[in-house]
Structure 1
Amino acid sequence: MPTTRSGKRTRVPWLPNMQVRKMAVTLPVFMAYCGIAASLRAWNKPNHKFIVTLQASDDFYYPVYAEAAEAFAAGIWTIKASTSYVYQWNDQSYRNEMEAHINGRAIFIAPPDYELDDGDRLFSDAVLDLSPRTRKHAEAALRRAGLPPSGRDVDLLLSEPWPRLEKAFQERRHPVLALERLRGHRPVPVKAVPEVPKQAGPTLADMHGYGPALDWGNDLAKDLTDYKAGDLPWSDVDTGVLLSGPPGVGKTMFASALANTCRVPIIYGSVSRWQEAGALDNHLKAMRASFAEAKEKAPSILFIDEVDTFGDRAESDRNRGYMRSAMAGLLELLDGFDRRQGVVVIGACNYADQLDPAIRRAGRLDRHFEITLPDARSRLSILGFHSGIELDQFQAEMFGMATEGLSGADIEQLVRDARRVARRNRSALSGDHVIDQLRPVTELPQDFIHALAVHEAGHALVSIEIGHGEVTEVKISRYRIEGKYRQLGYVQYGKIGARPKTRADYLNAIAVCLAGIAAELEVFGSFADGSSGSETADLNRATELATMLEGALGMGHTLLVEGPLEQLERLRAYNPDFRRRVHDILQSEFGRARSIIQTRRTALDAIVERLMETKAMTGDEVVDIVQRHKMPRVSLAKLPPRGVGA
C-alpha cells in the first residue's frame, strides 16, 4: 500500500550534476520529473515494491518522461545497470508485463491515445493521472539550473513542445545558451495543405455481406466527390436512407465505413440520447444541435440510431403526446432543401415495421436497406479488422462454422476475449487464441466426409445434366459443432429466370432433391438418415414438391386441385390413392436421377475426388469436370411422359 509520508527531500534529484544511468537529468527531464513525483507522491517510499500506471495527457513526450521516471525509480529502488523499471503501454506489452511481474516493481506510462483495458488495470496496483507541467515545475527547474525563475523563461518552458525542449537542453550545453537557442530558432512554417479527414476504421472495401446497401454506399461516395468538386448539384445526391436489422449486425460500422469511404465527417446521434436531455424542449434542442453540427461540418453524414423508438403516431398511449411532438420536430429537420444541404442522414433501427410511415416518405428516409447477420466471408473480414490477424485455411473453416449466427458485435467480443487470453499467456495474439474462444468443434472422420462429398456431388451432377439451374458452388465441411444442428454440405444454385414454372420444372427439382441419396446408393449401396427429418431435408422437400404437383397445381393425373398444402398433407396420410400417386412421382424421379448417376459415374467420382481435396468447388470447376467426362451416348435425363406415375 502507498505511504502517507513522502521522502522526496532526501531522494529528489535536486543536484544539477546528478546522473541516472550515467546520463544527466536535463532541465526538461526535471520538469517531467516534477510531474511524475506529484502523481506518485503517495508511493514515494524506499524499496517499496509496486507496479503503477500513469495515464498521460496530451502534453506528453515519452522519451523525456521515460528518463524522468527512471530518475524517480533511482530514488526509491536499487537500479541495476541492465534493468529498466519504466515501460510504455502498447498492444504488445506482454514482455514488459512479464519483466515487471518478475521484478515486482515498475512504472508503466500510457500515452494519451492508448486506451487501458480491464486487464491493464487489473495488472496495475494503481492507475494515476500523470500531472502535466506547471509554472511551479518550470520555476523549480530553472532554480535547479542556477537561473532566476523569470516569467519570460517560465512562459517559454511551458509553451515549447517537449521535442524542442529535449533537443535544446543537452548535457554539454549551458541552460542559458539553450534558452537563447530556443528563442532564436523558431519553427519553420510548414506550407498549408488541404486537410484530409483521418480514416480511422474500415472503408466500404473492407465490408462484405451488405448487398444492395454496399452498392448504394459506393454510388454515394462518387456523388459526394462530384458534389465537393462542384460537378454535381446537391439536388442530385441521395440524402436519406434507412438501415434496419437485429442488434449487432453492423449498422453503425457500415455508417462509419461509409463516412471513411466518402471522406466526410460523421456525426452520431440517437433518439434515446436526445430523450435523455429531459423535457420536450430540451429533447428538441438536442436533436437540433446534432443537425446543426452536421450542417456546420457539411458535407457530412448524420447517423441517427434507434429511430424506431419514436414509434407510430397512430398509436395511442399516455406518452404519445410527447413522442408525437418529438417526431414532428424530426420530420421538420428532415424536410427542406436549404436546411439539410450537404447532410446525408442515415437512420438505423431494429424494427422497420414499427416506424412511422412519415419518416420514409420521399425526401426523408425514403430508401430502405435491411442488414442481415454477416455471412462467413463478412465474419472473417470483421475478425481481420478487429484483430489484425489472418486465419489459415483450416482455422478459417472452423471459424466460419462456429460463428454462424453471430453478429459483428459478437465477433468483436470474441476478439477481446482472445486478446485477454494471449495477454495472460504472455504471447502474441494468433489464430489459435481466436479458435480457442469458439464453440467446441469436432473434426469429422474421413469416411463421413467422403459420404458428404458423394451426396453433394450427386446433387450437382444431376442438376447440370437436366439443366435444372446454374450450379455456382459445391461445398462440404470437415468439422461439426457439438450440440448444434448445421448443414454439413450444400450445393448453391444461381437464380432461375423469372418465368412461370411448368410440370417439367417441378419434376426436375424433385430429381435434383433425390440425386444425393441416389449417388449414395450407387456408391455405398445405402443412404444415410441426413436426407430426411427437417423441413429443408432432401426427402421432405421432394415429398412436398410431389404433393403440390399432384394435388395443388393441377399438374398430376388430373386438373383437379385437391386443396392447400396443409390439407394435402392430411390427404396424403389418410387417402391411399393420393399417397400412391405422390409415391409414384417420387419413385419415377428417383429412378431418373439414379440412371444419370450410373451413366455418369466417372464424372461423379472425379467430382468427389476433387471435393475431398479442396472441400469447396466453384460451379465452373464442376461443369468442367462433367464436360471432360462426357460420354457420346443418348442422355437419360429425358423426362418421362405425363402418364408415367399417374
Structure 2
Amino acid sequence: MPIKQSGKRLRVPWRKKLDENDLPLTLPVYMAYCTVAGALRSFNRVGTKTIVTLVTTDDFYFPVFAEAARFFASQIWDGQRFHGNILQWTDKNFRHEAEALRDERAILFASPSYQIQEDDLLLSDAVVPLRPRTIRHAETALRRAQLPITDENVELLLTEPWSRLSRAFQDRRHPLQAIQRLRSLPKSIPPEVPRAEVSPPAAGPTLADMHGYGSLIEWGYDLAQDISDFKTGIITWSDVDNGVLISGPPGVGKTMFATALANTCAVPLIYGSASRWQEAGALDEHLKAMRASFSEAKEKAPSILFIDEIDVFGARGERDRNSAYMRSVITALLQLLDGFERREGVVVVGACNYPDLLDSAIKRSGRLDRHIAVTLPDAASRRSILKLHSGVTMCSADFELFDLATQGFTGADIERLVRDARRAARRQSETLDADHIIRHLRPLIKLPETYVHALAVHEAGHALVSHEIGYAKVADIRISRWRVDGEYRALGIVEYDVDADRPRTKTFFENAIAVCLGGIAAEIEVFGSFSQGAAGDEAADLNRATELATAMEGAFGMGHTLSVEKFSPDAFGTMRTSNPELRREIHNVLAKELERAKSIIRLQRAAHEALVTRLVDVDQLSAVEVADIIRKHRRPPVSLAKPERRAAT
C-alpha cells in the first residue's frame, strides 16, 4: 500500500510487502490491482491530481478492474475529495465529466473497440495501455492468499475469464475453496466470433506472448510505460532505462524477445550484430557499419537498437594478434553508447551467450549497466511456448508427458518440435493436434508401480524430516511416473520455502543435512537399504549432504576445529582427499544426521505411510496437503522428563 511521503514515487505492489489488514481485496481484484498500479506507476504519488485513460485489451472485465482502480485511487488520492470517478468511456456522460473536472481526478477505461476521440484526449492528461495479467501477477496473488504456487494454479488464474474468477473468489469463501470449485466445473467455452468481425493478427509477438523470461518481461513493460510517458511529455529521456544486457544459452529466444519488446513499445527495431558489422570488411568499414546502425536508430527515435552476439567484441585486455583491431572497435562502441553526443531516444539491447567475456566498460553505468540472465524455460513456460507456436491445448495427462520429455528444452527446441509435428500432420492430411506433438517427443518409458512407490517413500521422507525438525516449510512434492529413455534425471522433487533471514548457524546446517538424508533414511526404514539414485550425481542427496558437511567442518569453523580453508566448493573434493581427519569428521556428521532422520521416520511411521499413499495416488502434494496429512497422523514425541511427585494427603 502506498505510504504517504511527499513527492516520492511509490513502489508497485508486487515489489513491496503489503499489510494484509489494509487490503480487503479478493484474489482476482488483487491481480487487477497489480496491473492498474503498474500502468499508473507514473502517477503513483500521494495527492496526485490527474485524469487518465487506460486502454484495455480483450483480457478485461470492468467490475473487477473498477474495484481495483477504486482501491488504487483511494490510496493515492485524498479520499475525502474523491467521489469514485472510475468509469468506462462508453458509459461516461456530461455529469461524469463535470465530476472528474471538479475532483481533478478520474480513471477511465477504454475498451479495444472504442475509438478515442479528440475531446477524450483533451480531457485526459495521459492515455496509457493496460497490460494483461502475467505469471508474476498470478504467483504474487497466490502467495498473498497463502495458496501453493503450482503450474496448475497459475494456469488457472491466467486462463479463466475474469467474470468466472470474480464469481468464484468471494470474501465469504476461502481462496482454496474457490480454486476447487473452478476446477470441479467445466471450463467455459467462449462464443464463436463471426469471421467478419475477427481483427487481423498482430504484425508480430508482443511481451504478452513471451513466456519463461522472468524479470525481463517486467523490465520490458516498465520500458514500454517509460517510452509512452516520454512520448506524451510526462518524463524526459534521462528518466528512461535506455540500455540492457541479455544473456542466456543459445535458443532461449533473445532475438524474439527484442521483436516483442519493440512491438509492445510501438517503436522501430533496428537489428545490429557484431559479426554482421565485422563482415563489412576492414576496420574502417567495420566501424562505418556500426555507426550506420546507431545513426539509423537515432533517425527513427524513439527506437530500439538490438545488438546480437555482443560478446564477440571480447575485452580490451586480451593479448593476441587481433587485440589492436578489437580495442579500436570496443572504443568506438563505447563512444556510441555514451559519447559526447548521448543517444537520445535510442534504447540499446545487447544479447550474448557469455557475459563474462564482455569488456567491463560496456557494462558500466550509462551504458549496458543492467544485466538480466534468461534461463531455460520451466514447465509452465514451455506449455505457453507450445501454445504460442502451435495453438494446441493439451489435456492434463498429455501435459505430464510433454513436461517430462521437454525438460531442458529452449524455445527454439519447442518451435522445432511443433514444426516437425505440423509437417507430419500435413503429410497425413490432418489438422495438427496434441497426438502429433506427443508422437514427436523423446521416447518415454512408464515406470512400474513398485518404482513409483519407492519414489514416494523417498520424497515423503524428505518432507516429513523437514517438517519435524522445523528446517523449512514444504512447498510442494512431486513424483513422475515416466522417464526419458536413455537419460538420467531426478524423478521426484521436494520444494522448500526456506526463510532467507534465518541465521546460518551450525544447527541450521545440521538440519539441512538431515533433510538431505531424509529420503535415504526412509528407504532404509522401509526397504532395509537405499538405492543408487541417492548418490553419484552432484545434485544427488548424499552428494549435497557431503558438500554441506564439508563446508561446515572445513570452511565455516563449525566442526572439530576453528582452522578453516577458503570457501570454494570446487576445492572441497581435494580437501576431503588430502585430509583424512576432515574426511572422518564429515563421515561422523553424516552418520549422526542419518541416524536422526531414521529415528524421525520410525517415530512418525504412520504419517510417513499416509504421505506415501496419498502421493502414489495423486503424484503431487501441496504444502497445505502435506501439513494436513502430518497433523492428522503425527504421533506426539515421548517426553523423557520425570513426572512430578504428588504430595501425600
Instruction: Give TM class, smaller chain.
Output: 0.5 to 0.7
1:595 aligns with 2:602: no
Q: Is the 8 A contact 1:202 1:385 kept in 2?
A: no
What are the equivalent positions in structure 2 for 1:193-232 lying under 5 Å apart? 199-232=202-235
**Partner AA of 2:290 in structure 1:** M
Structure 1 position 275 matched with structure 2 position 278: yes
Note the 1:300-449 alignment, pairs <5 A.
Answer: 300-335=303-338, 339-449=342-452
Q: Which is further off, 494-503 or 483-492?
A: 494-503
* Alpha-carbon displacement from aligned partner over 1:194-241 (angstroms, at most 9, x marks no partner): 9x9984343333333323323322222222222222212111110011
Aligned equivalents of 1:460, 1:245: Cα separation in 2: 33
Deviates more, 1:244-253 or 1:308-317: 308-317
Q: Give the equivalent residue in structure 1 for 2:543.
A: 540
Cα distance in 1 for residues equivalent to 2:546 and 2:639? 26
CA contact (8 A) 1:199 1:263 kept: no
Q: Matched residue of 2:312: which SS?
A: helix
Distance 1:356-1:600 versus aligned 2 partners, 3 A rule: same
Equivalence for 2:625: 621
Matches within 5 A, 1:536-575: 536-550=539-553, 552-559=555-562, 565-570=572-577
Q: So what's the TM-score if we normalise by structure 1?
A: 0.63
SS of the residue 1:346 aligns to: strand
Task: Classify the secondary structure of the residue corresponding to 2:430.
Answer: coil
Superposed counterparts of 1:453-492, under 5 Å: 453-492=456-495
Distance 1:541 1:313, change over 3 A: closer
Match of 2:476, SS? Answer: strand
Name stretches of at least 5 consecutive residues in structure 1 with no aligned partner: 1-189, 637-646
Quote how far apart the aligned CAs of 1:537 are: 2.0
Q: Distance in 1 between matches of 2:307 and 2:583?
A: 56
How far apart, in 2, do the equivalents of 1:533 and 1:372 lie? 25
Unmatched tracts of structure 2, length 5 or more: 1-114, 122-128, 130-199, 641-649
Contact 2:424 2:436 in 1 (8 A): yes
Cα 1:554–1:325 change in 2 (3 A) is closer
SS at match of 2:517: helix
Task: Give, in angstroms, the shift of residue 505 of structure 1.
Answer: 1.2
Q: Deviations over 1:98-122 (max 9, x none)?
A: xxxxxxxxxxxxxxxxxxxxxxxxx
Asked if 1 retains the 8 angstrom alpha-carbon contact of 2:576 and 2:583, the reply is: no
Q: Counterpart of 1:12?
A: none
Report the 3-state secondary structure (helix = DSSP H, G, I; strand = E; otherwise coil) of the residue aligned with 2:267.
coil
Structure 2 matches for 1:257-272, cutoff 5 A? 257-272=260-275
Q: Structure 1: how far apart are the matches of 2:212 and 2:336?
A: 32
Matched position secondary structure for 1:219: helix
Q: Deviation per CA, 1:57-116, whole angstroms, max 9, x where unpaired?
A: xxxxxxxxxxxxxxxxxxxxxxxxxxxxxxxxxxxxxxxxxxxxxxxxxxxxxxxxxxxx
* Aligned-partner SS, 1:334: helix
Query: Shift of the alpha carbon at 1:459?
Result: 0.4
Q: Give the RMSD, CA atoms, in angstroms.
A: 3.2
Task: Give the total of aligned pairs.
Answer: 444
Shift of 1:562: 9.0
Structure 1 residues 426 and 588: CA distance shift in structure 2, 3 A: same
Compute the displacement of 1:531 (Å): 1.3
Aligned to 2:254: 251
Equivalent residue for 1:45? none
Distance 1:203 1:588, change over 3 A: same
Once the two structures are aligned, what percentage of the paired residues are identical? 61
Residues 502-546 of structure 1 show CA distances to partners (whole Å, capped at 9, x for unaligned) of 221121112111111222233334432221222332223334434
Whole-angstrom CA distance in 2 between matches of 1:562 and 1:347: 39
Once residues 559 and 532 of structure 1 are traced to their aligned partners in structure 2, the CA distance between those partners, rounded to angstroms, is 29
Report deviation, 1:393.
2.0
2:455 counterpart residue number:
452
Residue in structure 2 matched with residue 69 of structure 1 by the alignment: none
- Conserved in 2, the CA contact under 8 Å of 1:549 and 1:556? yes
**Aligned CA distance change for structure 1 residues 495 and 635 (closer, same or farther; 3 Å):** farther
What amino acid is aligned across from residue 364 of structure 1 in structure 2? R
CA deviations on 1:134-156 (whole Å, 9 max, x unpaired) are xxxxxxxxxxxxxxxxxxxxxxx
Q: 1:272 to 1:334 in 2, by over 3 A?
A: same
Contact kept, 8 Å, 2:534 with 2:540, in 1: the verdict is yes
Distance 1:617 1:214, change over 3 A: farther
- Displacement of 1:474 in angstroms is 1.5
- Return the TM-score normalized by structure 2: 0.62
Name the CA distance, whole Å, in 1 between partners of 2:299 and 2:550. 64
Counterpart residue number, 2:140: none
Structure 1 distance, partners of 2:286, 2:583, is 65
CA distance in structure 2 between the partners assigned to 1:337 and 1:613 by the alignment:
67
TM superposition shift of 1:449:
0.9
Matched, 1:514 2:517: yes
In the alignment, structure 1 residue 585 sits paired with structure 2 residue 589: yes
Give a deviation string over 1:389-445, Cα, whole Å, max 9, x none. Answer: 122222222222222222222221121111111111111112222222222110111
User: In the alignment, is residue 606 of structure 1 matched against residue 610 of structure 2?
Assistant: yes
Change (3 A) 1:198 1:272: farther
Distance in 1 (alpha carbons) for counterparts of 2:636 and 2:562: 39
The aligned counterpart of 2:244 is: 241
Which secondary structure does the structure 2 equivalent of 1:365 belong to? coil
In structure 1, C-alpha distance between the alignment counterparts of 2:313 and 2:583, rounded to whole Å: 53
Conservation of the 8 A alpha-carbon contact between 1:456 and 1:474: yes
CA contact (8 A) 2:606 2:634 kept: no
Once the two structures are TM-superposed, the CA of residue 631 in structure 1 deviates from its matched residue by: 4.3
AA at the equivalent of 1:372? T
Deviates more, 1:219-228 or 1:283-292: 283-292
- Give the letter for the 1:478 counterpart: R
Which residue identity lines up with residue 566 of structure 1 in the other structure?
G
Map 1:93-104; keep pairs closer than 5 Å. none
Range moving further from structure 2, 610-619 or 428-437? 610-619
Q: Is the 8 A contact 2:471 2:498 kept in 1?
A: no
Q: Distance in 1 between matches of 2:481 and 2:615?
A: 11
CA contact (8 A) 2:476 2:620 kept: yes
Tell me which stretches of 4 or more aligned residues in structure 1 moved more than 6 Å: 190-194
For residue 261 of structure 1, give the secondary structure of its aligned residue in structure 2. Answer: helix
1:227–1:337 Cα change, 3 Å? farther
Q: Between Structure 1 and Structure 2, whose CA radius of gyration is higher?
A: 1
